[in-house]
Amino acid sequence: MSARSKAPPPTLDLDRFLPYRLSVLSNTVSQAIAAMYGERFDLNVTQWRVIAVLGRYPDLSAVEVAERTRMDKVAVSRAVAELIAAGRLDRSTDRGDRRRSVLNLSQAGRSVYNEVAPLALACEARLQSVLTAAERATLETILDKLTTAGVGMLLTGKDLGMKQ
């Protein structure tokens, strides 16, 4: 190759690109779980994720739900409004900070959570059934490391070729 010719740009092989593969896996599993609850409970994936988060972590604001799930704030806001209108969420003023509103599952929302959570756990168990106990433990370690690295990159822009 001469000094004047340039190397071709790298090719992005999506079938081997980790972020793409993780996204496809996540979407596949979410769609499988959604097939179990979607029609029965008239829920979409975003609404279920909001319910799941509030079922585990009550008294969050919509912004905190979006942060915890890494979902788009507008999508979360829309899902929250729909869930409130459907009577599945309650919004109230935070007792400690009157400027902040918090979300909680209503009785109807808790009922949905109590029925869908076991379906989600069964789906997880089926997915993990192809792994040995050692592979599951290794996967947990790897996911923790990748999550920490991913959050670090998002916060700092390091390793992304971005100027600081």
Residue-level pLDDT at 154: 66
Residue-level pLDDT at 16: 92
d(CA 112, CA 127): 23
* Residue 160 CA to its chain's centroid (Å): 22
Residue-level pLDDT at 164: 47
Structure tokens at 107: 């009785």
Residue pLDDT, tens place only, 27-58: 998 898 899 899 899 999 999 999 999 999 99
CA-based end-to-end distance of the chain? 34
DSSP-derived letter for residue 159 is T
Residue 74 CA: distances (Å) to CA of 77, 86, 125: 5, 18, 31
Domains of the chain: 33-155 (1.10.10.10)
d(CA 83, CA 53): 13
pTM of the model: 0.81
Is residue 134 pLDDT above 80, yes or no?
Answer: yes
Share of residues in the chain with pLDDT > 70 (%): 91
